[in-house]
Every structure is written in C-alpha cells, then in structure tokens.
Chains A and B, each alone.
Chain A
C-alpha cells in the first residue's frame, strides 16, 4: 500500500492503495466516482475511458502509481452541469439504449474534439473504434459527434 495524491476533476484527492491498482478501481472503489465503467479490464472495449491531461486513456490499464500529478477528468467532471457540447449532442440524438458504454464513448469523443474540432467521418470512425457499444448505437454516436463539432 502507498499514499497517492491525485488531481481528479479539479479536486485534490488522496488514496492509500496498492500502487498497481488501476485508476478504474481507484475511481470506483475508493473515490466514489462510479461513472467510469468496467467492461473488459484489458483496454479492448473503452468503457473505462477517462482523460489524463486531456488525452483519452483506458483507466483499466493505468496504474495509480503512473498518474503522478497529471490531471484526471472523469465523466462526472467533464462539465459542471452536464452541458458539455458532446453531452448535449448525445441528448439531442437520444443516443443511449442501455447506457453502460456511453460515458466511455463521450470521454473518447470529447478528447477527439478537443484535439481535432472538425473531424472527418474517417477520423471519427478511427477515434471511436476502440469503444464497443453492444446495443449498436454507433450511427447515433457518429451523428452526435458531428453535432457536437458543429456546436462547439
């Protein structure tokens, strides 16, 4: 066990955990931030996507010991009022079915738009390809990313 000082959604947080613990479980088990989802544990589904200094990463493969002082943003911290352009676009297109993968989809999409404000269809497909949606809402996800790009 070791103590780590983290910056999560703009707040300082301290946890005392096994250094190998992935950020996914630090968030869920220790910081009560359950919006980040467990899907596969091997970075193949994207359900656990968070931002590390603004870059989308799979939190199931990011040990807490590797985070250092980098800023972590989770779905809970993407916007104050749930009104990030990507979140708004998701509501406008009524994307979710079961909803389980959508936090990860939104975190991937918002990181994409932060680095590439007007992505092409191919760029959206490439960026979003790591996020599985078992309900098959891919068409609405793509449409929502485009709407968010237009409204950002």
Chain B
C-alpha cells in the first residue's frame, strides 16, 4: 500500500527566510543550549546547519538533528518519535542528534504527553515531516544534477542517481533543499521498507542518565535564583486563616513569607486547572535547606472552607460548573456515601435487551462488589518548577505533560500575554498523569512575580503526596446470570466513585451479551482527583476481569475459553451498535498469551491468573504465576500479549510493558491513600508502601502481535489488566477471592483470622 500524505500541516513547515545559516535555531533546547549530546561528541559537528522543517536540520557534513516535540516522562517518546522521522527521512540513526523541543506551538503540533497518544497521534505528522524533507533533498539533487527527481533514490543519508552514477550525501544538498518550495503532497514509505521503525534503539538520554547529567527541571540552578517552598493546608476542605510572618521571616536565609492565591476567583478554569487549595503560604529564601527549616518553624492558622463552585471547561471544551463541598471528609464517609449511591438513583449508561427479565430466568446468578481506594502518583521527582517572571515576559521550566493549557492559565493569572510566556520542556522524573496538572508552575510564577526574582519552587515529598490530584476511590457491583447450559444471558454493572464513575459502558462484555445494563453514579468531594495511568480503566479492568474469572469458574469453563466464547459472539453477532473494541484483536491477544504462557500445559504448584483488557486503542492479555511464601505473594512469571499495532522501538516498548506490570502489581498489593477529617493518612514512603525490588516479578515476557496497523497506545494499556491477573492468580494460590484493593490488606486479614 502506498500512502500519500496530503494536507501537510503548514505550521510544521513554517519557512523562516533566515534559516539557512548558523543562527536559524530559535529557542530550541534552551537549557542544554547547543551542547552536543554524548552521541554527538563522537560525531564531527557541521560548520553550518540547514533547516528543512521544524523537526529536521541537516548539517553540511550530513549530521542530522531531529527535534523531539513531546515532553518526555519516561515513555521513550524522545527516542521513538525521532525514530519515525529518521526512518522516513532515510538517515543512519548513528548520524542523528536528538534534541528536546521546547514548547513552541507555532512550530510543533500537540506537544502533550499523556493518554498513550504520543506515537499514535504523532505517527502521521512525523512520517510526513520526514518524507517531506527527503523529497526536498531529492528535488535539490535533481536540480543540481539536471536529472528527473523520480530517478533519484534516497536512503542512509545518501542521494543517488544510478543512470548517471551521481551520488551525494544529504549534507551536500541540504543548503539548496532548505530554499525549495515545500511539496503539497509526499509519498510515505511502504511499511515493508521501514528499516529503523521496528528495530530496537537505545534511549538517546541513556548516557546522560547513568552519568548524572542535569536533565530535570530540578537540576536547573541559575546563579541568581531564590528557592521557594509552599505550605499547603494540612487537610482538604481547609484554607489559610492567618499567617504569623514573624515565625519564619527572621530565620537564616529567609527573604520573604506571604500568603497567595494560586487562582483568581473569577477565572474560568481549563480541564487541567486543578487546585486543591484556595490559598497557600510561600516561603522564599536563598537555599533549599534554609527554606526547609523555615517551613518546619512557620506558624499558620487554618480554617474550614465553605461550599464553593467554579466554572471549568470539560475535556471537550464544554463549560460546566464544578461544585466543591466545604468541610472535611473521611474515607469512612466516602464508603457509606458510595454504598448509598449505588442503591439510589443511578444514571443509565447503556441497556441492551431485557436485563431484569433475563436475570429472573437465569439458572445461576453471581453478584460481587469491588472497591479500590484513592491512589497517589508518587513520581520519584517531587513537584518543582523554575520561574522567572519579569514585567516584559516570563520563562518557566518545570516538569509538565501539558504545556499548552498551562500557558493559558499562567497568562491569565499573571496578566501577561501568552506570547510573552516561554515554557521550556524538562525531562520529567515520572508523570503518570500527575504532571498534566500544572499548579506547581502557576505557583512558581506567582511567587516569582511577587518577589521580583527568578525562583526555584521545590515541593518536598510530603507536599507532593498530600497535595491531591489523586486517582479517585471507586466501587463497582457486577451481576451476571447464566442459563442452565452455563451461557451468559444477563450482565449488569453498577459503578461509581468519588467524584466520578469508572464505568466504560461500551466496552467488553457489552456487545457479547443479549441482556446488558450499565449504570453509573458519582459523589461530590473536595479531595481533588486527576488522571492516573489509564484513568478509570485502572480500576474497572481489575473489577470486570476478576468478575469474569469468577463467572467462568461458576460456569465450569476455562477462563480463556470463556472470554473467547464471548468475543466470538461479539464478532459474529454483536449486540448493539456501539461496541468500543474489535473482538478479533481482543481474542488475538488472549490466544497469543495462551500460547506464550503454555496455558494448556498446567504445572503443579503453579497458580495462574489471566486477564485481558482494551483501552487507549490497544489490546492486552496477561497471565501471572504466583506462589505464596510467608503469607505474601511471590510473582514468578508474567506473560503479556499486546496488540498496539506497529511497534516503533521494541525493546523500549517491552521495558514500558514490564514497568506497567510492576506498577500494576505494586498498586494492586499496596496502593492506598485514606483520609480522616480531610487529612491524607500517608505523607511519605515510610507510610505509603511502594513496590520494591524484592516484590517485583522474577520473570516478565512482553510479546507483541505483529501486524501493519498504525501504532496505538502503549504507556497505559498494560497497567489495568494486571490488577485482575494478580487477583485471579492469588485466588488460585489461596482459594480466596480478592475484591478490595489493596490486596495485601486482605492477605493480612486472612492471616489474622488464622
């Protein structure tokens, strides 16, 4: 198949006439300057660079610089996205230097990392950018050699006209190519001709990471910057009543102490403007340790908040009013509220057939309720941000997944035109959704504006863990009816949470059951929530796939067979119009994991659980083997089968998959944040248990379905199914079902009963 890319986005190809010189780089790599990467140190750097488009510069000696547009939080976009460019451009990866682009919407599309969409949405634009530059080089060679462009081949950084024997490196043609008209249409490579996509390449920042080079916003130490920390209320539903400035102001190194409001009252918020507290205390000083001492000593009086509301644009842009109840909340209260809501008036999300009639006719009915607590992201790099706000503009450098939206927020808060706000993109020490929310950047900007100096805002771990923006707490009740032949004839899910429902009504097993009912509900709260690796899916997959496992057991069927049976129904005779998955691809990963895990050759002493889920446009099935030692699970083997279309960087993709599985096991066993009177009950890693080396599985295999489908999500899809694979394997090992996360608590309960 030959792909022709039309409608090339003009902003990627914005021509700047002065480009063909050494000064063409605009604001790229503000932090790193033009310091060569480690890889570049062994390359001879060119005397002159020629820019073919926003993503690609070619040096007179053939060395190529590729701009990586999206912020990197560990999902490998900084390596994988330039690989897509390089393959279409036709260059040797060893001649490539990758640079992180700063936030620059005039030149780059969608500089957002999240929702597992980087590669999926970057695929076509990046291929087009690479192919366009290649075509311009070919045209330059055609002009120079006076031969038809169609007769010139390009690859491995070389242009060749076989008939005349003419040959040139890209570097020799780059100067002319940069002056040519950008073609309206370009031919993309055939998938079979990819020679870089699909071939594992090492992380482009690997050497810098293992040698401790400054890569993160926190590592940015301009000579004149002050250090700032904030003190936020000790509980959700509280705010600052008064500050005793004298309690900290005279302390060594302390320059200023004040109360500020991160959001102005009349501000219409965007989707990622989540602020847990209406006011905060800022402490500004000369060194981190001194500010930390003042933070311990400072005296603040707090008060309970009243009910409030604000206007916010939803993810699709539609405005809504968000109500925030005043006062302090507790986990016990949330549990009672969720139980009441589930039994009360719920929202109908989807109904097929006659569920209640079918339940009446059912020979067997199974009903189970699943719950999970709030989770904190706990990125290893605590929130921080450098901000330098001046009268004529502002520069910010901080870990952020969504720079475009936060620039609007900062602009509104500072009263500065957004064009005057420069956001530079740091490598992030983890993201997981937490850094889609840029409250830390706004806080740094407000503090810098107030003190009239550049500041480095630094959260400590306690600030980070207790600020909010958590994965919500959820509850879901599943009910299913089997007929006398153990066929699934009725299915009902009723799920909700604080403050959102986790139910995806059009996902499996919708479409596979004649009589299907999905309902949702939610409870208002002032404890802030946000995206957390595979939002909603990260709970509902575990609930659904645990329930399906128990249902298969009740039906006396093998759990993989039972799922395949349902998927066959969804494929051949689907129920309803809107089913958000392709049954064939879903079945494909189950079949692959069955093969790779040798599911059909059970071994004694091996307790296995299976789970499969579709989210972020990708399909994943996992099999986990567990044994119980000293009343704790030891995960011996994990097999994952993934269909995410074409895999750009296979070893990095496997790494991401392994990590998501480890993350899933950790959160399933230990993840939990509870509240008493609005106070988060954990504030650092001595209380919040994270998975560690000893609890990691001993062996993990991630297998990818090979196909020619355009790439889909990868960072999130392996995470949600892990919870149920863990629960189902632990059921095999203990005879006990695990309905309530975190599962280790349930293990402790069973031990205390013994």
Measured CA separation A149–B335 after assembly (Å): 50
Closest Cβ–Cβ distance, residue B662 to chain A (whole Å): 3
Q: Are B461 and A100 in contact (CB under 8 A)?
A: no
Measured CA separation A1–B293 after assembly (Å): 14
In the complex where A100-B429, A126-B694 touch, is A135 in contact with B659 (Cβ < 8 A)?
yes
In the complex where A29-B287, A37-B381, A135-B430 touch, is A99 in contact with B202 (Cβ < 8 A)?
no
Q: Are B661 and A136 in contact (CB under 8 A)?
A: yes
Q: Are B73 and A136 in contact (CB under 8 A)?
A: no
Q: Are B655 and A35 in contact (CB under 8 A)?
A: no
Measured CA separation A117–B613 after assembly (Å): 43
Q: Are A82 and B207 in contact (CB under 8 A)?
A: yes
A sample of 6 more A-B contacts (CB under 8 A), given A44-B686, A124-B693, A136-B659, is A25-B288, A39-B382, A98-B431, A99-B429, A139-B696, A139-B697
**Interface 0/1 of B411-426, CB less than 8 Å to A:** 0000000000000000
Q: Is residue B194 within 8 Å, beta carbon to beta carbon, of the partner chain?
A: no
Residues of chain A with a CB closer than 8 A to B210's CB:
75, 82, 87, 90-91, 96, 102-103, 106
Give residues of chain A (67-107) contacting chain B, Cβ–Cβ below 8 Å: 74-76, 78, 82, 87, 90-91, 94-103, 106
Q: Is residue B221 within 8 Å, beta carbon to beta carbon, of the partner chain?
A: yes
Residues of chain B with a CB closer than 8 A to A21's CB:
287, 289
Give residues of chain B (175-208) contacting chain A, Cβ–Cβ below 8 Å: 200, 202-203, 205-207
B interface residues, how many (CB within 8 angstroms):
67
Q: Are B221 and A34 in contact (CB under 8 A)?
A: yes
Of A87, A100, A137, which one neighbours B381 at CB under 8 angstroms? A100
Measured CA separation A129–B460 after assembly (Å): 22
B213's nearest neighbour on chain A, judged by CB, is A35
Residues of chain A with a CB closer than 8 A to B345's CB:
none
Q: Are A35 and B659 in contact (CB under 8 A)?
A: no
Q: Are B692 and A29 in contact (CB under 8 A)?
A: no
Q: Are B666 and A97 in contact (CB under 8 A)?
A: no
Most chain B beta carbons < 10 A, residue from A1, A44, A95, A100: A100
Closest Cβ–Cβ distance, residue B532 to chain A (whole Å): 12
Closest Cβ–Cβ distance, residue A21 to chain B (whole Å): 5
Residues of chain A with a CB closer than 8 A to B681's CB:
none
25 pairs, CB–CB < 8 Å, chain A vs chain B = A22-B289, A28-B288, A29-B288, A40-B685, A44-B684, A44-B685, A75-B211, A82-B207, A90-B210, A96-B74, A96-B203, A98-B427, A98-B428, A100-B379, A100-B429, A101-B429, A106-B210, A125-B693, A132-B692, A134-B663, A135-B74, A136-B663, A138-B692, A139-B662, A140-B655
Of A39, A45, A139, which one neighbours B700 at CB under 8 angstroms? A139
Closest Cβ–Cβ distance, residue A24 to chain B (whole Å): 9
Q: Are B655 and A137 in contact (CB under 8 A)?
A: yes
Q: Are A101 and B693 in contact (CB under 8 A)?
A: no
Measured CA separation A74–B697 after assembly (Å): 30
Give residues of chain B (659-697) contacting chain A, Cβ–Cβ below 8 Å: 659-663, 666, 684-686, 690-694, 696-697
Most chain A beta carbons < 10 A, residue from B74, B210, B290, B663: B210
Give residues of chain B (619-678) contacting chain A, Cβ–Cβ below 8 Å: 651-652, 655-656, 658-663, 666
Q: Are B655 and A101 in contact (CB under 8 A)?
A: no
**Interface 0/1 of A130-149, CB less than 8 Å to B:** 11111111111110000000
Q: Is residue B216 within 8 Å, beta carbon to beta carbon, of the partner chain?
A: yes
Q: Are A38 and B218 in contact (CB under 8 A)?
A: yes
Q: Is residue B378 within 8 Å, beta carbon to beta carbon, of the partner chain?
A: yes
Residues of chain B with a CB closer than 8 A to A36's CB:
212
Closest Cβ–Cβ distance, residue A63 to chain B (whole Å): 10
Residues of chain B with a CB closer than 8 A to A34's CB:
212, 214, 218-219, 221
Q: Are B428 and A138 in contact (CB under 8 A)?
A: no
Of B202, B458, B659, which one neighbours A137 at CB under 8 angstroms? B659
Closest Cβ–Cβ distance, residue B401 to chain A (whole Å): 12
Q: Are A25 and B215 in contact (CB under 8 A)?
A: no
Q: Is residue B168 within 8 Å, beta carbon to beta carbon, of the partner chain?
A: no
Q: Are A136 and B427 in contact (CB under 8 A)?
A: no
Measured CA separation A129–B689 after assembly (Å): 12
A interface residues, how many (CB within 8 angstroms):
61
Of B215, B432, B660, B694, which one neighbours A129 at CB under 8 angstroms? B694
In the complex where A100-B381, A134-B378, A139-B696 touch, is A91 in contact with B207 (Cβ < 8 A)?
yes
B76's nearest neighbour on chain A, judged by CB, is A97
Measured CA separation A32–B221 after assembly (Å): 8
Q: Is residue B75 within 8 Å, beta carbon to beta carbon, of the partner chain?
A: yes
Measured CA separation A18–B663 after assembly (Å): 39
Q: Are A134 and B379 in contact (CB under 8 A)?
A: yes
Measured CA separation A17–B286 after assembly (Å): 12
Q: Is residue A128 within 8 Å, beta carbon to beta carbon, of the partner chain?
A: yes
Closest Cβ–Cβ distance, residue B531 to chain A (whole Å): 16
Measured CA separation A106–B200 after assembly (Å): 23
| Interface residues in chain B, defined as those with a beta carbon under 8 Å from any beta carbon in chain A | 38, 72-76, 200, 202-203, 205-207, 209-216, 218-219, 221, 227, 252, 287-290, 293, 378-382, 427-432, 458, 460-461, 651-652, 655-656, 658-663, 666, 684-686, 690-694, 696-697, 699-700
Measured CA separation A42–B663 after assembly (Å): 22
Measured CA separation A36–B379 after assembly (Å): 16
Residues of chain B with a CB closer than 8 A to A113's CB:
none
**Interface 0/1 of A34-60, CB less than 8 Å to B:** 111111111011010000000000000
Most chain B beta carbons < 10 A, residue from A34, A87, A97, A126: A97
Residues of chain B with a CB closer than 8 A to A136's CB:
658-663, 666, 691, 696
Measured CA separation A100–B394 after assembly (Å): 27
Closest Cβ–Cβ distance, residue A46 to chain B (whole Å): 9
Measured CA separation A123–B277 after assembly (Å): 45
Closest Cβ–Cβ distance, residue A100 to chain B (whole Å): 3
Q: Are B430 and A100 in contact (CB under 8 A)?
A: yes
Residues of chain B with a CB closer than 8 A to A103's CB:
209-210, 212
Of B38, B206, B461, B659, which one neighbours A39 at CB under 8 angstroms? B461
Most chain B beta carbons < 10 A, residue from A18, A96, A99, A137: A99
Q: Are B211 and A35 in contact (CB under 8 A)?
A: yes
Q: Are A94 and B651 in contact (CB under 8 A)?
A: yes
Measured CA separation A137–B380 after assembly (Å): 13
Of A47, A90, A98, A129, which one neighbours B74 at CB under 8 angstroms? A98
Going nearest first, the 3 A-B pairs with the smallest beta carbon separation are A35-B212, A136-B662, A100-B429
Residues of chain A with a CB closer than 8 A to B696's CB:
136, 138-139, 142
Measured CA separation A78–B212 after assembly (Å): 10
In the complex where A94-B206, A96-B210, A138-B696 touch, is A18 in contact with B685 (Cβ < 8 A)?
no
Measured CA separation A104–B500 after assembly (Å): 38
Q: Are B430 and A98 in contact (CB under 8 A)?
A: yes
Of A74, A87, A94, which one neighbours B202 at CB under 8 angstroms? A94
Measured CA separation A95–B277 after assembly (Å): 38
A132's nearest neighbour on chain B, judged by CB, is B690
Residues of chain A with a CB closer than 8 A to B227's CB:
29
Residues of chain A with a CB closer than 8 A to B429's CB:
37, 98-101
Measured CA separation A35–B690 after assembly (Å): 23
Residues of chain B with a CB closer than 8 A to A131's CB:
692-693
